[in-house]
Amino acid sequence: MFTKLLIANRGEIAIRIIRACRELGVRTVAVYSDADAQAPHVRAADEAVNIGPAPSTQSYLLGERIIEVAKRTGAQAIHPGYGFLSEREWFSRAVREAGLVFVGPPPEAIAALGSKTAARQLAIAAGVPVVPGTTEGLRDAAEAEAIAERYGYPVLLKAAAGGGGKGMRVVRAPSEMAGALDAARREAQNAFGDDTVYVEKYIVGPRHVEIQVIADTHGTVLSLGERECSVQRRHQKMIEEAPSVAVSPALRKRMGETAVAAARAAGYVNAGTCEFLLDQEGNFYFLEMNTRLQVEHPVTELVTGIDIVQWQIRIAAGEKLPFPADLTPRGWAIECRITSEDPSNGFLPSAGRIEYLHVPTGPGVRWDGGIETGSTVGLHYDPMLAKLIVWAATRDDAIARMHRALRELTVVGIETSREFHLRVLEDEEFRRGAIEIQWLERRLPSLVGAAAPESQVTLAAVAAALLADRDRGMRRAAPVNGSGTQAPATTPWELAARRDALRP
Ligand code: MV4
Domain assignment of residue 114, yes or no:
no
* Nearest CA-CA partner of 76 in 262, 380, 411, 318: 318
Residues in the chain: 504
| In contact, 366 and 302? CB cutoff 8 Å | yes
Q: What spacing in Å lies between the alpha carbon of 165 and ligand 1's midpoint?
A: 7
pLDDT of residue 63: 98
Domain assignment of residue 191, yes or no:
yes
pLDDT of residue 319: 98
Domain assignment of residue 498, yes or no:
yes
Q: At what angle do helices 63-73 and 89-97 cross, to 10 degrees?
A: 30
Q: Which residues pair with 152 in a beta bridge?
A: none
Instruction: Tell me: do 171 and 193 sit in the same domain.
Output: yes
CATH number of the domain where residue 430 is located: 3.30.470.20
3-class DSSP state for residue 377? strand
Beta strands 77-79 and 101-102, pairing class: parallel
pLDDT of residue 439: 98
Instruction: Tell me: do 196 and 210 sit in the same domain.
Output: no
Query: What does the buried/exposed string (b/e) look like for 159-181 if buried means 16 or more CB atoms within 10 Å of the residue's CB?
Result: bbbbbeebbbbebeeeebbeebb
Q: What spacing in Å lies between the alpha carbon of 188 and ligand 1's midpoint?
A: 16
The residue whose CA is least distant from atom 15 of ligand 1 is: 202
Asked which of 142, 170, 201 is the last residue of a domain, the reply is: 201
CATH number of the domain where residue 15 is located: 3.40.50.20
Cβ contacts of 300 within 8 Å, gap of 6 or more = 212, 224, 225, 227, 242, 306, 308, 333
Domain assignment of residue 413, yes or no:
yes
Pocket of ligand 1 (CB under 6 A): 131, 156, 165, 200-203, 208, 232, 235, 277, 287-288, 437
Domain assignment of residue 113, yes or no:
no
Instruction: Tell me: do 446 and 460 sit in the same domain.
Output: no
Query: How many structural domains comprise the chain?
Result: 5
Instruction: Tell me: do 437 and 472 sit in the same domain.
Output: no
Instruction: Tell me: do 394 and 291 sit in the same domain.
Output: no
Instruction: Tell me: do 216 and 317 sit in the same domain.
Output: yes
Instruction: Tell me: do 351 and 258 sit in the same domain.
Output: no
3-class DSSP state for residue 200? strand
pLDDT of residue 14: 98
Instruction: Tell me: do 481 and 470 sit in the same domain.
Output: yes
Q: Cα dist. 251→103, 247, 274, 419, 441 in Å?
A: 31, 6, 15, 34, 27
Instruction: Please compute, for residue 425, the number of CA atoms within 13 A of its CA located in the half-sphere on the CB side.
Output: 30
Instruction: Tell me: do 321 and 435 sit in the same domain.
Output: no
Asked which of 310, 330, 350 is the last residue of a domain, the reply is: 330
Q: What spacing in Å lies between the alpha carbon of 198 and ligand 1's midpoint?
A: 14
Cβ contacts of 299 within 8 Å, gap of 6 or more = 227, 240, 241, 242, 333, 334, 335, 389
CA atoms of 460 and 138, how far apart (whole Å): 65
CA atoms of 403 and 423, how far apart (whole Å): 9
Instruction: Tell me: do 164 and 227 sit in the same domain.
Output: no
CA atoms of 233 and 421, how far apart (whole Å): 13
Taking the CA of residue 202 as reference, the ligand 1 atom at the shortest distance is 4
pLDDT (tens, 9 = 90+) of the chain, 504 residues, equals 999 999 999 999 999 999 999 999 999 999 999 999 999 999 999 999 999 999 999 999 999 999 999 999 999 999 999 999 999 999 999 999 999 999 999 999 999 998 888 899 999 999 999 999 988 899 999 999 999 999 999 999 999 887 777 889 999 999 999 999 999 999 999 998 999 999 999 999 999 999 999 999 999 999 999 999 999 999 999 999 999 999 999 999 999 999 999 999 999 999 999 999 999 999 999 999 999 999 999 999 999 999 999 999 999 999 999 998 889 999 999 999 999 999 999 999 999 999 999 999 999 999 999 999 999 999 999 999 999 999 999 999 999 999 999 999 999 999 999 999 999 999 999 999 999 999 999 999 999 875 555 544 445 555 555 555 544 444 444 456 544 455 566 777 777 777 666 665
pLDDT of residue 440: 98
Largest CA-CA distance found in the chain, in angstroms, rounded: 77
Indicate the top mutation candidate among 203, 204, 436 to test ligand 1's pocket, ranked by most ligand atoms within 8 A of CB: 203
Classify residue 407 by its DSSP letter: H
| In contact, 260 and 199? CB cutoff 8 Å | no
| In contact, 273 and 213? CB cutoff 8 Å | yes
Indicate the top mutation candidate among 87, 187, 200, 235 to test ligand 1's pocket, ranked by most ligand atoms within 8 A of CB: 235
Domain assignment of residue 118, yes or no:
no
Cβ contacts of 429 within 8 Å, gap of 6 or more = 435, 439, 443
**Which one of the listed residues 16, 252, 292, 407 is annotated catalytic?**
292
Instruction: Tell me: do 298 and 392 sit in the same domain.
Output: no
Q: Is 337 a catalytic residue?
A: no
Q: What spacing in Å lies between the alpha carbon of 440 and ligand 1's midpoint?
A: 14
Q: What spacing in Å lies between the alpha carbon of 164 and ligand 1's midpoint?
A: 9
Asked which of 201, 236, 252 is the last residue of a domain, the reply is: 201
Boundaries of domain holding 466? 455-502
Domain assignment of residue 153, yes or no:
yes
pLDDT of residue 211: 98
Q: Which residues pair with 223 in a beta bridge?
A: 213
CA atoms of 333 and 102, how far apart (whole Å): 29
pTM of structure: 0.91
Instruction: Tell me: do 321 and 276 sit in the same domain.
Output: yes
CA atoms of 164 and 167, how far apart (whole Å): 9
Domain assignment of residue 240, yes or no:
yes
Indicate the top mutation candidate among 116, 155, 157, 208 to test ligand 1's pocket, ranked by most ligand atoms within 8 A of CB: 208
The residue whose CA is least distant from atom 8 of ligand 1 is: 165
